[in-house]
A and B are shown apart, each in its own frame.
Chain A
Amino acid sequence: MHIQKRMAGDVTILSLDGRLDLTSASTLKEASKDVLSNNAKKMVLNLDRVDFINSSGLGALVSILKEVRNSQGTMKLTNLAPYVKEIFDITQLSNIFDIFPDENQALSSF
């Protein structure tokens, strides 16, 4: 998985590209840990180029969400593909993540 980091004001945006599964979960966790270690409080994960997610990927996102909350921060997800969104719905994780159709709406919500 490739992860691109950029800033939009005081919001850190991580754009993910590839599969979010067992093989990439640790990469994403490390990238998020790096962001939080710089005292970032606002994070957006853009999943526009994530074409596949399974329970390992979901677990990584839950782990990151917990870390963000423990840091008194806020995390949002954007641009979920329909099949990816369905996995969130089936597992009821769409109830705990703030999910937005695009980055602009996510950024406006902070």
Chain B
Amino acid sequence: MKEFIRIIFPVSLDSVRVADDIFEVLANNATRDKQLRYNIRTVLSEVFSNAFLYGDKNNCDVEIEVRTCFTENGFMASIINDGAGFADNKIKWDEFPATEQESGRGLKLIKRLCDRVEFKRADNNKFEVQVEFNTNITRQQIK
């Protein structure tokens, strides 16, 4: 992926806050479609929050890396962190948790709101979540 923006965050709640600010800007620059902007912001926020919550907290040097770029079809982002990851083939993607459950909705929201999501091992045995949105725009159209 040709890199357009690459940001490294320390693992902290402040980073979650800052990252959300950046995701809002990225979403606003990715498309004029307000619904799609919200979807991009929501997905990136969910992925980053998961990286914060479920990443390796035993190592104080861990970081969360965000890479974004504009592709031929739209906008793509990868969020990479230290962590065990999970077996995505065990998730029932079409079922949301029973109503009393306080967690378990994030991954399914990600799947519903983006056009493509991929979970994989990145360099140095890190875990990567890559998402893509079809925005049908070219970079020249972005203000």
The distance from the CB of B19 to the nearest CB of chain A, in whole angstroms, is 10
CB distance A23 to B16 under 8 Å? yes
Taken together as a complex, chains A and B put the C-alpha atoms of A79 and B48 apart, in Å, by 28
Band of interface residues on A: 20 to 34
CB distance B109 to A87 under 8 Å? yes
- Which chain B residues border A87 with CB–CB below 8 Å? 42, 109
Determine which of B41, B100, B106 lies in contact with A52 in the assembled complex, contact meaning CB atoms within 8 Å. Answer: B41
Q: Is B45 an interface position by the 8 A CB rule?
A: yes
Question: Of A2-10, A34-42, A53-61, A98-106, which stretch is located at the interface?
Answer: A53-61
Q: Is A108 an interface position by the 8 A CB rule?
A: no
Binding site for A on B (CB under 8 A): 13, 16-17, 20, 24, 34-35, 38, 41-42, 45-46, 49, 52-53, 96, 99-103, 105-106, 108-109, 112-113
Interface string of A56-89 (1 = CB under 8 A from B): 1011101100100000000000000001001100
Interface string of A11-30 (1 = CB under 8 A from B): 00000000101110000000
> Can you list 6 A-B pairs with a CB-CB distance of less than 8 A?
A21-B16, A52-B24, A66-B100, A86-B35, A87-B42, A96-B99
Using A23-B13, A92-B99 as known contacts, say yes or no to A55 and B20 having CB atoms under 8 A apart: no
- Which chain B residues border A52 with CB–CB below 8 Å? 20, 24, 38, 41-42, 45
CB distance A21 to B45 under 8 Å? yes
From A84, which residue of chain B is reached at the shortest CB distance? B38
Using A22-B16, A92-B96 as known contacts, say yes or no to A62 and B102 having CB atoms under 8 A apart: yes
From B23, which residue of chain A is reached at the shortest CB distance? A52
- Which chain A residues border B113 with CB–CB below 8 Å? 90
From A93, which residue of chain B is reached at the shortest CB distance? B99
From B110, which residue of chain A is reached at the shortest CB distance? A55
CB distance A55 to B99 under 8 Å? no
Q: Is A109 an interface position by the 8 A CB rule?
A: no
CB distance A62 to B38 under 8 Å? no
CB distance A54 to B45 under 8 Å? yes
CB distance B99 to A83 under 8 Å? no
CB distance A21 to B103 under 8 Å? no
CB distance B109 to A54 under 8 Å? yes
